[in-house]
Amino acid sequence: MLHLDSSHSGDSVTRRLTALFADTWRKAHGPSGHRHRDLAADPVPPVAPAYCALGRRVERHGPVPPAKVEALAEDADERREWALTRPLIMELLAARTVVIGAPMYNFSVSTALKAWIDRVTFPGAFSDPGSGASLLDGTRVVVITARGGAYGPGTPREGFDFQAPYLRAYFGGLGVAEENLELVHAEMTLAWLVPELARFQDMAAASLAAAEARITALATA
C-alpha cells in the first residue's frame, strides 16, 4: 500500500482518516508492505524545464519503460529531474492499493498533491510498451477528502467542487479502472471552528462518521 498525505495542517482531518485506513489495512493484511509519503513535510519539487525537455524527447520515442528513460537524458539537469521522478513512479507502480489524503484547498487540491501529480505523470510511465495498456488497470486508489463546507449534489456549492471531478479525470486518464477508484468525503469540517457554521455540527459529525465507516470497509476489503 502507498499512503500519501498532502495536508499542510497539523490538525488535519484527512491525516486522521488516512491513518485510520492504514491502521485498519495493516490489521487486515499484515504490517509489511505499507509505504508512507508525507507530501507536505517532504515536498516533491515542482517540475523544471529539463523535466519537460526530457519528457518531450521520450514522447517522440513512443512508450519508453522507466528503466530506459535515463539513457535518453542529454545533460545533468535532465538526469537530475529523472532521478527525482523515477522513485515516485516506481512507488506508484509497485502499489496495489493507493490511499491519498486530499484536503480541499480553494475548491481543488493542495499544491503538495499537485506537485506529486505533475511529477509522476511522466510520458509513457504507466503504459505497457508492447500493448499500450495501462499498468495501473488493477491498482485500487482511495482518495479521502475533507471539505470545510458542503459540495454534494443539491447543495448551493455543488458547482464549486473542482476537486472530485479533477481527481476522477486524472486517475481515470492514467488508466485506473472506474470500479477501482473510490472517493470518500468528510464535509462541513469547519463547523467546529467557524462560529457561523456551528449550526452544521450535526451534519459534520454525520459526514465524518459515514466517512470513517466507509474507510474501514474499504481498508478491510
Residues marked as binding? Answer: 9, 104-107
Residues belonging to the binding site for FMN are: 9, 104-107
d(CA 146, CA 158): 15
Check: CB of residue 161 under 8 Å from CB of residue 150: no
101, 19 contact by CB (below 8 A): no
Under 8 Å between Cβ of 24 and 216? yes
Contact, 116 vs 175, CB < 8 A? no
Q: How many of the other CB atoms lie within 10 Å of CB of 29? A: 15
Under 8 Å between Cβ of 145 and 184: yes
Helix (H, G, I), strand (E, B) or coil at 149: coil
